[in-house]
Amino acid sequence: MYDFNQGKVVATATLHETGPNVHESCSQTGNIHSFPCMPCINQSDYHREKNTVDDGGININKMFNTAVARPVARKEMMENEDARKAMRKEWLGQHAAGVYDFSVVREYDDVVREAKRNGTEVHMARIHGICVEKNYQLPKGNPSRKFKGRGVLLGNQVKDLGNSPATFEASRWADFYGCLPGHGVKLADAIQACIQAVLTGPPCWVELPEDAWPDDVDFRKFRRPVVRLIKALYGHPDSGTMWEQHCDRKVRELDFIPVGEEWPSMYFHKKLQLLLVIYVDDLKLAGPEENLTKGWEMLRSKPNIEPETDLGLYLGCVLSKGSAKLNDGTPVSTMTYDMEGLLKLSVEKYLDIVGKKIPN
């Protein structure tokens, strides 16, 4: 239940011995909040094996975060200076990373004819710029709420070989490991992860939008200009695999050993006793506090990653480490997963759909 007068999310429930009922509570203003409650069913105390899959074989016990990003239409992007800057920053970043080979610009039709004549396989694709407002559920002014531009390959015609990022269970294991006595856990992002990896497979020629071309390339003299794609750009169906393979080689060189086939993108450093979880471009490192800094320094010597940070926003969920005491007084560490911002957005969306307004 959302208490609009107090601005808090409050969970309330009652159990009744006979059939469904309604729980009612009144706020100070006299508003009544009601919802049906489940009946209390008396049954024998026996162990039931946890259901793991549904009829379709889908694992129903996986935990998911919701990463919130609001799509920004092109009209808004062109009118919003922050959005335009974010998109231009993305294009310039790709140029600096050598994503495209601008030394040779060719006509689309010439490349296709040459490939057919020589009987060689090439991929022809288009690059598209998209803009989103990340972490839209956070209040305006929060530094984590910002515009993000991304140049992606429209690769629906390119064969997908698939990749296997870490699971959310692996992320929770890192949280648990970081809650052990004397342990901690920190986060970091890989910088433009996929384009750290070289594109493999058949040559790929791409068309760029006008605002993605460098100023020193005269692309307007071509009817349909294309350039070679060099790096594993986002949107290519197999770019995740290429990044994963690139990252796997780099962390293995640092003696981070894979935990096992059933735990993809999860590694353990025996000497430093550090547990590393990689979810695409989000890295989480847990282990003894005295070894975390050294572990991050080692990692930054291979993949290009940002400075590590304390727990905070991770895949749309705010993580925070705390402490508590058990009934016998034993101190324990706790991990809180806070998604109140998303819940508020969901409530507001629901009220908008049913035609209700939030009381002043």
Q: What is the pLDDT of residues 192-241, one digit of tens each?
A: 778 888 888 888 999 999 989 998 999 999 999 999 999 988 888 778 78
Clarify whether residues 73 and 172 are in a common domain.
Answer: yes
Q: Is 51 among the domain residues?
A: no
The answer to whether residues 111 and 205 touch, using CB atoms and an 8 Å cutoff, is yes
Average the pLDDT over 316-335 and give the result. 90
pLDDT band at 286 (very low <50, low <70, confident <90, very high): very high
Strand partners, 186: 285
Q: Is 15 among the domain residues?
A: yes
Clarify whether residues 36 and 136 are in a common domain.
Answer: no
pLDDT band at 154 (very low <50, low <70, confident <90, very high): confident
Helices (H) and strands (E) in the chain, counts: 7, 18
The pLDDT, as a whole number, for residue 159 is 39
Provide the domain count of the chain: 2
Tokens describing residue 17? 């011995």
pLDDT at 14 over 60: no
Q: Give the domain range for residue 111.
A: 63-354
For residues 20 and 85, give the distance between their C-alpha atoms in angstroms, rounded to a whole number.
55
Question: Which amino acid is located at 152 in the chain?
Answer: V
Clarify whether residues 2 and 75 are in a common domain.
Answer: no
Q: For 307, which DSSP code?
A: P
Clarify whether residues 31 and 86 are in a common domain.
Answer: no
For residues 306 and 119, give the distance between their C-alpha atoms in angstroms, rounded to a whole number.
44
Clarify whether residues 306 and 270 are in a common domain.
Answer: yes
**Mapping DSSP to helix (H, G, I), strand (E, B) and coil, where does residue 164 land?**
coil
For residues 298 and 291, give the distance between their C-alpha atoms in angstroms, rounded to a whole number.
11
Instruction: For residue range 174-185, list pLDDT tens digits in order.
Output: 999 999 999 999
Angle at Cα 145 formed by Cα 89 and Cα 2, nearest 5°?
A: 160
Tokens describing residue 47? 């162990």
Average the pLDDT over 154-179 and give the result. 71
Average the pLDDT over 123-145 and give the result. 87
Please report, for residues 81, 115, 152, 261, the alpha-carbon distance to residue 111 in angstroms, rounded to integers and kept in the order given: 37, 6, 21, 41
Q: Is 50 among the domain residues?
A: no
Tokens describing residue 325? 């005491």
Residue 73 has phi, psi (to 5 degrees) of -65, 155
Average the pLDDT over 304-329 and give the result. 88
Clarify whether residues 28 and 150 are in a common domain.
Answer: no
